């Protein structure tokens, strides 16, 4: 796959840049509470750092491993000791409905209203060259987390009892939806389940105006994370810098990204060039399926399209 097939913009970033810098005044998150799933390590931890740089008032990181969360919060508190940001670790499993209910019930009981939800946690396995040889139970475990868990988290987020009337919410979905490695689909379960949820978010965005909840999904890039280091040599490819998707998440949760409501984009694409491209803006306006998960070769799949004479 060539680089040109991966980008809509001439400028292709591998590291952060001024337009998405979390210290940019227009991206300021002061007074907001941010909740990040899978926030104890890797890209989730870096996203927490970026929101702290954007002056978020409270950052809640959720994960399954308490020790990892505690260590992450200790690092954040040390790095941002001169700020007023509050860092909260919350052990939880988004693949477990009771864990999700307990999380949101606890936040509500503490009068904590979440302004921004970053869905970063994911179930990566099982994968293999022959999908039909994967155990059904293991196969569905990925969908339970990547679709069911993320859906339930989104539902709880949007329906918070403490939600002030007229207060906009921001939902950011970190997704590598639909990426297949040929000749062997080595990420078949993960990419397919992530694609399913990303497609669902596109539909949900059609139901909810951006003024109520801004929804943006983005591909974070090729990151040498904890899971990547366990499976790949660091010299295999040119890995992207963690700061790119981390800062992009802050940008995606800002008013500057409102015109991409419901779309699936890549952190690599230059946001200023993307917004200044008249052809892309025209397609966003005219094609409901543009930059959404769908069928390659078709601009739109909808009941309206079927009913057109």
The C-alpha atoms of residue 2 and residue 133 are separated, in whole angstroms, by 31
Beta-bridge partner residues of 88: 60
Buried b (16+ CB within 10 A) or exposed e, 179-208: beeeeebebbbbbbbbbbbbbbbbebbeeb
Of residues 175, 193, 225, 254, which has the active-site annotation?
175
User: Is 175 an active-site residue?
Assistant: yes
- What does the alpha-carbon distance between residue 31 and residue 115 come to, in Å, rounded to a whole number? 9
CB 187 within 8 A of CB 181: yes
Residue of 32, 53, 156, 194 marked active site: 194
Structure tokens at 70: 């505690």
**10 Å Cβ neighbour count for 21?**
17
Locate 10 and state its tokens. 């001439």
Distance CA 284, CA 279 (A): 9
How far apart are the C-alpha atoms of 282 and 101, rounded to whole Å? 41
Helix, strand, or coil (residue 270): coil
Is-catalytic flag, 194? Answer: yes
Cα(first)–Cα(last) distance of the chain, in Å?
38
**Using CA atoms, how far apart are residues 258 and 243, in angstroms rounded to an integer?**
21
190 given a catalytic annotation? yes
Q: Where are the beta strands (DSSP E) in the chain?
A: 33-37, 58-63, 86-91, 116-119, 169-174, 213-219, 264-266
The sign of the dihedral angle between the CA atoms of 196, 201, 202, 206 is positive
Out of 32, 156, 190, 217, the active site residue is 190
The catalytic residue positions are: 175, 190, 194
């Amino acid at each position: 796959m060539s680089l040109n097939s991966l980008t809509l913009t001439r400028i292709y970033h591998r590291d952060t840049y001024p337009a998405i810098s979390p210290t940019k005044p227009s991206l300021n998150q002061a007074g907001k509470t941010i909740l990040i799933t899978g926030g104890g390590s890797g890209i989730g931890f870096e996203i927490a750092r970026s929101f702290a740089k954007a002056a978020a008032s409270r950052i809640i990181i959720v994960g399954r491993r308490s020790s990892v969360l505690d260590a992450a919060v200790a690092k954040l508190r040390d790095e941002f000791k001169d700020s007023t940001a509050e860092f909260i670790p919350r052990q939880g499993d988004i693949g477990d409905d009771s864990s999700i209910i307990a999380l949101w019930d606890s936040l509500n009981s503490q009068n904590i209203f979440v302004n921004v939800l970053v869905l970063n946690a994911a179930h990566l396995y099982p994968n293999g060259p022959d999908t039909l040889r994967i155990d059904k139970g293991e196969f569905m475990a990925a969908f339970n987390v990547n679709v069911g868990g993320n859906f339930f988290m989104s539902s709880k987020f949007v329906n918070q009892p403490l939600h002030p009337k007229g207060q906009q919410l921001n939902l950011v979905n970190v997704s590598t939806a639909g990426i297949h490695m040929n000749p062997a689909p080595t990420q078949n379960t993960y990419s397919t389940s992530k694609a399913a949820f990303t497609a669902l978010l596109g539909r949900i965005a059609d139901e909810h105006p951006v003024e109520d909840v801004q929804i943006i999904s983005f591909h974070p890039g090729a990151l040498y994370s904890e899971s990547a280091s366990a499976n790949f040599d660091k010299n295999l490819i040119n890995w992207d810098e963690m700061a790119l998707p981390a800062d992009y998440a802050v940008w995606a949760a800002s008013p500057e990204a409102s015109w991409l409501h419901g779309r699936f984009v890549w952190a690599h694409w230059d946001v200023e060039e993307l917004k200044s491209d008249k052809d892309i803006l025209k397609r966003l306006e005219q094609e409901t399926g543009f930059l959404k998960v769908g069928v390659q070769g078709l601009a739109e799949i909808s009941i309206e399209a079927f009913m057109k004479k």
